[in-house]
């Protein structure tokens, strides 16, 4: 990278450190550290959680998919969009979870089921999460080494040190400092700044790519793929390995089942000012990253065009020369687009994208470090303590857990080889907890007959099936497969799959989830139990005096409508979101129907994607300005709320006789 590029990265990092130094003063108690004392507004939430969920590794994973599948995933994303809309508009899971006032999902699990089950779920969530997170530093470090063209070895005080572990240590160290000093308060604020910077940077990158690459040259490169693997025609892409129509159809079910189940950003689930603010943050999420998504799509497509269109032969040769130095096929797949971008992005834009990736890396690292360490301390260790900790002791424990997770992530990244697609690895490791979590969470929040025995059965079944699948897939080639052939030498089926495990991570995850649902329902129906849902959700006679939300929010299917909590502006956002999402869904239905009747040529799809690109750019400019204004308003209100020195020491995540400890002090 050029000196100007490094200057951009350095100034951005200095700004983040300044924000951390200023905001740490607002962290005064356990509730501040864990959930920012539940003072976050909708724009602050949707922007901060959005960048936390993006992550450098997620961008690299998206590059990996797009480089294979092209525009096709966008089309099938339209198919899934009504599900996300319904989940957002109804506040599915998040609204009721916020009503419980739980700081972590396992805390709700103790309120709904039992303390032992809280510890069990906390341990499962923690193990699933830290293993999943364990590859993040490695992928991120590899990106920066190749994108910034850093040497493999550097000399420090006469010692030859590998760059790879040093970059990981620097990345984790920065995130560690951010969380250590201010907990969720600094996480919210730094993630907000990183999110706004990234949205503006993505707009600039998108404009540059649209200016630098002639549309016809881009399409020429994309059309070099073999028959049946089209990158522009969704109905001629069925032969794309792994990422085909079935991959997205399974995703329909998984979107609903895993709503808010993954705990990597658990603090955001509990940081909203009110349940309604949490719901509005979800609705706004439909607008947050329009330009971001298109920029992340266009970057790998431009690299693909460079690699396959003969007019870019000189640039392609430079990319291939660097890729040839990578021996590991998995690393080569992950780094193809980052290395390609070094050849097509100019000075200044390169530094801008490097700063975006740094923002994505730090935001995900600080959020995940905070979440997994908090769950381990809050839900695995502290339930065994009979005497509550003082706020100072409690925060000290949380910080020790924070350091432990960072050390584990660094070590795991050093020793674990990632031999699968990044997103496939996410699916497999996530299924350790997610396989049963959806049944337990949705059943616990919405079904009063769900029993503790059913929850145990569902969670264990989901975890066992998922872990078994993980071990099979990881060790099938070279270990389990050859051993099975040795035991059953006459099996033609084994001979055909010995060198390739027959199921991918998403298929294994689906099977575990379906078994978990069946177990939860059947075991619950076999019992005779009814839970007091009003006490769990702080409704009716259990409503708290300090609850700022409306007394009777809309329930059941009517929650899809606009209840008394909606202001006039909320209704505008609601109607606009429905129009935007359902409009594209209607386009999907009409396009699919026409394609079933007549054969739509590639040229029509090419024109469609070009129009989609320009619409995304225009809306991206508008929504970025809108969210910037709303976010700064929320920050002012956050600071005003946190200036109040009053804190409830009992609001620390403890559950006593099925109720939050601070509920007992307010009744």
The predicted-structure confidence for 145-181, as pLDDT tens digits, reads as follows 888 888 888 887 778 888 999 999 999 999 999 999 9
CB 87 within 8 A of CB 282: yes
Task: Classify residue 511 as exposed, middle or buried by CB count within 10 Å of its CB (0-12, 13-18, 19+).
Answer: middle
402 lies in the same domain as 425: no
Q: What is the pLDDT of residue 369?
A: 94
pLDDT recorded at residue 421: 61
Q: At CA 431, angle to CA 82 and CA 106, rounded to 5?
A: 90
* Residue 252's CATH number: 1.20.1730
Residue 483 sits in the same domain as residue 630: no
Alpha-carbon distance of 290 to 282, in angstroms, equals: 15
> In 10 A of CB 261, how many CB atoms?
21
Residue 372 has a pLDDT of 95
How close are the terminal C-alpha atoms of the chain, in Å?
A: 61
Question: Which of 530, 546, 564 marks a domain boundary?
Answer: 530
Q: What pLDDT is attached to residue 424?
A: 66
Shared domain for 154 and 228, answered yes or no, is yes
Sign, Cα dihedral of 381, 383, 384, 385 = positive
Residue that is written with structure tokens 């809280």 in the block: 118
pLDDT the model gives residue 244: 57
pTM listed for this prediction: 0.86
- Could you give the 3-state DSSP secondary structure of residue 431? helix
pLDDT for 138 equals: 87
Tokens of 482: 């050859």
Q: In three state form, how does the secondary structure of 488-526 look?
A: CCCCHHHHHHCCCCCCCHHHHHHHHHHHHHHHHHHHHHH
Domain stops at, among 530, 556, 583: 530
pLDDT at 517: 94
Domain ranges, residue 166 = 3-416+531-665
Last residue of a domain, one of 473, 501, 530: 530
pLDDT at residue 453 in the model: 96
Q: How far apart are CA 9 and CA 605, in angstroms?
A: 38
Beta strands in 361-502 (DSSP E): none
Whether 286 and 359 share a structural domain? yes
According to DSSP, residue 226 is labeled P
Q: 638 and 598 in one domain?
A: yes
Distance (Å, whole) CA 445 – CA 555:
13
Q: Which of 13, 356, 340 lies closest to 174 in space, CA to CA?
A: 13
Q: Please, what's the largest Cα pairwise distance for the chain?
A: 75
Residues 194 and 244 both lie in one domain: yes
d(C-alpha 626, C-alpha 2), whole Å: 33
Answer whether 181's CB lies under 8 Å from 24's CB. Answer: yes
Are residue 517 and residue 564 in the same domain, yes or no? no
403 with 514, same domain: the answer is no
- The Cα 358–Cα 426 span in angstroms is 21
- 3-state SS record for 94-137: HHHHHHHCCCCHHHHHHHHCCHHHHHHHHHHHHHHHHHHHCCHH
Domain count, the chain: 2
CA gap 540, 182 in Å, rounded: 36
505 and 537 assigned to the same domain: no
Contact 360, 174 (CB under 8 A): no
Is residue 126 within 8 Å of 266, Cβ to Cβ?
A: no
Residues 275 and 152 in one domain: yes
| Angstrom distance (rounded) from CA 411 to CA 399 | 19
Residue 144: strand, helix, or coil: helix
Shared domain check, 387 and 464: no
Q: List the chain residues with pLDDT less than 70.
A: 238-248, 417-424, 470, 474, 505, 545-561, 665-667
pLDDT in tens, 433-491: 888 999 999 999 999 999 999 999 999 998 888 778 767 776 777 777 777 777 877 77
The answer on 345 and 326 residing in a single domain is yes
CA dihedral (165, 168, 169, 170) positive or negative: positive
Q: What is the DSSP letter of 538?
A: T
């Amino acid at each position: 990278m050029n000196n100007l590029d490094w200057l951009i990265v350095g100034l951005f990092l200095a700004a983040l450190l300044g924000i951390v130094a200023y905001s740490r003063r607002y962290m005064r108690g356990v509730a501040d550290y864990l959930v920012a004392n539940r003072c976050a507004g909708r724009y602050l939430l949707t922007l901060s959680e959005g960048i936390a969920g993006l992550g450098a590794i997620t961008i690299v994973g998206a590059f990996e998919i797009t480089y294979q599948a092209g525009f096709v995933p966008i089309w099938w994303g339209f198919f899934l969009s009504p599900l996300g809309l319904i989940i957002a508009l109804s506040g599915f899971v998040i609204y009721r979870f916020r009503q419980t006032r739980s700081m972590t999902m396992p805390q709700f699990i103790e309120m709904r089921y039992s303390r032992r089950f809280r510890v069990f779920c906390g341990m499962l969530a923690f193990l699933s999460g830290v293993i999943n997170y364990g590859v993040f530093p490695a992928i991120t470090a590899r990106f920066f080494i190749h994108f910034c063209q850093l040497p493999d070895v550097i000399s420090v005080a006469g010692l030859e040190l590998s760059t790879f572990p040093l970059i990981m240590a620097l990345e984790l160290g920065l995130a560690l400092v951010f969380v250590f000093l201010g907990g969720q308060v600094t996480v919210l604020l730094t993630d907000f700044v990183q999110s706004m910077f990234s949205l503006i940077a993505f707009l600039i990158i998108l404009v540059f790519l649209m200016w630098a690459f002639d549309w016809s040259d881009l399409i020429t490169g994309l059309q070099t793929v073999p028959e049946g693997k089209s990158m522009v025609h969704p109905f001629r892409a069925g032969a794309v390995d792994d990422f085909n129509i079935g991959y997205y159809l399974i995703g329909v079910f998984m979107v609903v089942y895993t709503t808010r189940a993954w705990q990597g950003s658990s603090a955001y689930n509990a940081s909203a000012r009110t349940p309604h603010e949490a719901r509005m943050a979800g609705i706004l999420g439909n607008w947050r990253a329009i330009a971001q998504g298109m920029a992340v799509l266009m970057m790998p497509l431009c690299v693909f065009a460079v690699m396959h269109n003969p007019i870019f032969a000189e640039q392609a040769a430079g990319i291939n020369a660097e890729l040839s130095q990578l021996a590991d096929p998995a690393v080569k797949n992950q780094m193809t687009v980052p290395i390609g971008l070094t050849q097509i992005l100019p000075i200044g834009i390169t530094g801008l994208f490097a700063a975006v990736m740094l923002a994505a890396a730090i935001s995900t690292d600080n959020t995940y470090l905070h979440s997994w360490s908090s769950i381990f301390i809050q839900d695995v260790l502290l339930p065994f303590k009979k005497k509550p900790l003082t706020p100072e002791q409690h925060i000290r424990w949380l910080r020790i857990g924070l350091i432990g997770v960072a050390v584990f992530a660094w070590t795991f990244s050093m020793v674990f080889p990632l031999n699968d697609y990044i997103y496939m690895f996410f699916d497999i490791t996530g299924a350790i907890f997610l396989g049963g979590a959806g049944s337990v969470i949705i059943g616990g929040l919405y079904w009063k007959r769900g029993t503790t025995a059913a929850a145990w059965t569902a969670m264990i079944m989901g975890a066992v099936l998922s872990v078994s699948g993980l071990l099979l897939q990881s060790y099938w080639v070279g270990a389990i497969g050859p051993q099975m052939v040795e035991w059953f030498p006459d099996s033609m089926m084994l001979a055909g799959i010995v060198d390739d495990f027959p199921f991918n991570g998403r298929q294994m995850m689906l099977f575990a989830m379906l078994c978990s649902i069946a177990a939860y329902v059947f075991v619950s129906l076999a019992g005779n139990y009814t839970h007091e849902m009003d006490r769990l959700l702080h409704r009716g006679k259990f409503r708290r005096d300090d609850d700022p939300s409306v007394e009777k929010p809309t329930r059941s299917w009517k929650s899809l409508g606009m209840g008394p909590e909606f202001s006039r502006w909320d209704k505008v956002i609601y109607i606009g979101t429905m129009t935007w999402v359902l409009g594209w869904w209607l386009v999907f239905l009409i396009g699919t129907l026409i394609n079933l009747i007549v054969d739509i040529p590639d040229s029509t799809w090419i024109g469609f994607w070009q129009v989609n690109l320009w619409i995304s750019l225009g809306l991206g400019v508008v929504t970025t300005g809108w969210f910037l204004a709303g976010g700064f308003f929320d920050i002012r209100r956050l600071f005003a709320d946190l200036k109040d020195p009053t804190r409830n020491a009992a609001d620390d995540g403890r559950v006593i006789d099925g109720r939050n400890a601070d509920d007992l002090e307010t009744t």
